[in-house]
Amino acid sequence: MSQPANVGSCARCGQALGGRAVFGFQTPSGLTRTCLPCAVRDAPTLRRSGLIALAVGTLLTAINQGDVLFAGHWTAVLLWKIPLTYAMPFGVATWGALGNSRVSTRT
C-alpha cells in the first residue's frame, strides 16, 4: 500500500500543489489530492464521463440526426456532427466532475 500523499504535493505525480488548483478523490486508502493534469486522467472520472457521453450522445444523435440516418442519406457533414454530439456530453460531464472535486486551499 502506498503512503498517503503530503497535502503539499500531488498524490500521483508528486508535483508541488502550492498555488495550483487542487482536486480531491476518494480512494480505498482515503482521500487523495491531485493536480489538474492528474485529475483529468482519473480513471473512474473518465469511465463515468464516457458512459454519460455514450447515453446522452446516442439520444441526441437519434433526436437530431435520426431521420437522416434511418433514411440512409449519410452525408459528409455527419462525419463531424456525430462525434461532436458525443464529445460535448463527455466534456460537460468531466468538467462537472472536476468542479465538484475541486478542493478549497484557503485556510
| Helix 78-101 × helix 43-71 angle, to 10° | 150
- List strands edge to edge, sheet with 102-103: 30-34, 22-27, 102-103
- Give the pLDDT of residue 107: 55
Cα–Cα nearest to 99, from 51, 40, 15, 56:
40
Q: Work out the average pLDDT over 6-30.
A: 86
Predicted confidence (pLDDT) per residue in 19-58, tens digit: 888 999 988 888 899 999 999 999 999 999 999 999 999 9
Mean per-residue pLDDT of the chain: 89
- What residue segments make up the domains of the chain, in order of their start? 1-41, 42-101
pTM, to two decimals = 0.83
Q: Is there a contact between 17 and 35 (Cβ–Cβ < 8 Å)? A: yes
